[in-house]
Amino acid sequence: MQITADLIVILGTGGTIAGTAKTASDGVGYTAAQLSVEDLLAAVPALASRRLEAHQVAQLDSKDMDFLTWQRLATAVQAQLARPEVGGIVITHGTDTLEETAYFLQRVLAPAKPVVLTAAMRPATALAPDGPQNLFDAVQVAAAPGAEGVVVACAGRVHDATQVRKTHSYRVDAFESVDGALVARVEEGVVRLLGRWPSGEALGLACISRPAERWPRVEIVMNHAGASGAVVDALRAAGVDGLIAAGTGNGTLSVALDTALREAQADGVKVWRSTRCDAGPVMDLPGLLPSAGALSPVKARIELILTLLAG
């Protein structure tokens, strides 16, 4: 008997989308991660006709996202994807580290089925919450024919996990595909494909099987006017395994910071250059520290952690 893959699994992790405030007019002084994923679904009656299943994987403010939760989430996603009746997965998440979780899942799993992260900038108790619409749209994306890979669906737009960045502190359309086209738009419940679904080779769960407390320590340092090497020296003394330099412009670094980073590299610390700019790659030029390509500093950090775990 052929099994129809029409089940969409919703995995909850907390965030503002599950947040509450004392008054409906309070869109800032709320507490994240208060409502269950079942509560979020109950607020979207338009999804009643869909075949859905909900599980709570975590319940936290995404500013506090950690390696252990990433391990649990990746394992849960893989287990659900392996079920033949599952057509796609939606993950409710906080906006603060959503781009990091999305990139992590894409690199580890590179799923052939869609994994859609969604979030909200306003708590569920707001006068006009954005969470219900985003959750509705995310389910439509997860059920879209031909969809695959990890994407982010917010404010009617669908972003590639590699491209997406949070670029605004409070607007409901806080996310942008900063160095490329959108994957799709969701218009009145219909997914209109604009680009290509993410693809790639999965690193696999074995890559992240090491206990979370033993993952490599990789930190980010930033170039700025008057930047010295003091932070690098302190992190090197503390036993850091890798450093991402968020340089100015095309990954440029002050003489003092560059010197400290080269000394750390000579001492066995893995060092990559990224840029603090919102978009654009860092060129890999002779004589300079290695480039992180077009990855933002936070995504370059994830990539370096995975590289060190694998190697």
Q: Give one DSSP letter per residue of 166-193, joined into a string.
A: E--SS-TT-EEETTS--SEEEETTEEEE
Q: Count of alpha carbons within 13 Å of 30, Cβ hemisphere only?
A: 28
What is the residue range of 144's domain?
7-193
Same domain membership, residue 239 and residue 182: no
Q: Which amino acid is at 301?
A: R
Query: Mean pLDDT throughout 139-151?
Result: 98
Q: Give the pLDDT score at 105.
A: 98
CATH of residue 82's domain is 3.40.50.1170
pLDDT of residue 1: 62
Say what the alpha-carbon torsion angle 118, 169, 24, 33 is, to the nearest 10 degrees: 50
Q: What is residue 17's DSSP assignment?
A: G
Task: Report yes or no on 233 lying in a domain.
Answer: yes
67 and 181 housed in the same domain: yes
User: Do the domain assignments include residue 210?
Assistant: no
Instruction: Please indicate, yes or no, if residue 112 is contained in any of the structural domains.
Output: yes
pLDDT, average across residues 267-278:
97
How far is 30 from 3, CA to CA, in rounded Å?
43
Q: Report d(CA 223, CA 276) in Å as an integer.
A: 8
User: Do both 169 and 246 map to the same domain?
Assistant: no
Q: How many residues are given for the chain?
A: 311
Stretch 103-121: mean pLDDT, rounded?
98
Determine which one of 16, 92, 101, 118 is catalytic: 16
CATH of the domain at 288: 3.40.50.40
Integer Cα distance of 47 and 9 in angstroms: 12
Q: Is 16 a catalytic residue?
A: yes
The answer as to whether 178 is a domain residue is yes
19 and 125 share a domain?
Answer: yes
pLDDT of residue 109: 98
Count of the separate structural domains present in the chain: 2
Clarify whether residues 126 and 38 are in a common domain: yes
In this prediction, what percent of the chain has a pLDDT beyond 70?
A: 99
The answer to the question of residue 200 being in a domain is: no
